[in-house]
Structure 1
Amino acid sequence: MATTVTLDGELDLLTTARTTGLLAAAALTTSDIVVDLRSVTFMDATGLGPLVRTACQMGRRGGRVTLVVTDPWLERVLRLARLTDLFTVVRQCGDADTYCPRHA
């Protein structure tokens, strides 16, 4: 069963440490992580860093990171950064029932 991490607000330099901590804690307990980004209002390159590091770490262990993204702008950021192949990206938790049971 996956662990769900819900992030909100801005993902940038000021929130990188908090985001890194939340994702690192989740990575200790599961092989699959769902990161719910539906309440994220802004994300820059530094905000992507913890997500990328976690996805790489999980991938080396045979796990995966699924991102729940409903904002077209955020989807565009992921696409422009060429990160859509690194993550499983879904529009709603219902698209990933087995990965997001707490939000289904």
Structure 2
Amino acid sequence: MATTVTLDGELDLLTTARTTNLLAAAALTTSDIVVDLRSVTFMDATGLGPLARTACQVRGRGGRMTLVVADPRLERVLRLARLNDLFTVVRDGGGTDTHCQRHA
């Protein structure tokens, strides 16, 4: 069973510690993590750090990490940072999954 972590607001330098703590706690209890980013309004490179570290940790144990996004700009940040291959990305268009793609 996957553990879901819901993040909101901005993922940046000011929220890195909180994000790291939330994801680390989830990684201790399960090998599969779903991170709900639908309420994230901004994400920069420092906001990507906790996501990438946790994904690597989970993958190292044979698990997977899924990101749920509603904003195509967040997907673009992942793609530009070339980190989108660490995650399964599920695009949510307001309550209904409209696209699911696994990047291996």
Q: TM-score range by the shorter chain?
A: 0.7 to 0.9
Unaligned runs of 5+ in 2: 98-104
TM-score by length of 1: 0.88
User: Alpha carbon RMSD of aligned pairs, Å?
Assistant: 1.1
1:87 aligns with 2:80: no
Residue matched to 1:102: none
Q: Deviations over 1:32-76 (max 9, x none)?
A: 000000000000000000000000000100011100011011111
Structure (1/2) with the larger strand percentage: 2
* Runs of 4 or more consecutive aligned structure 1 residues displaced over 4 Å after TM superposition: none
Q: 1:35, 1:7 → 2: CA distance? A: 7
Q: CA deviation at 1:27?
A: 0.4
- The percent of aligned pairs where both chains have the same amino acid is 87
Q: 2:86, 2:96 → 1: CA distance? A: 21
Structure ranking higher on relative contact order (CA contacts 8 Å, 6+ apart): 1
1:5 aligns with 2:19: no
TM-score by length of 2: 0.88
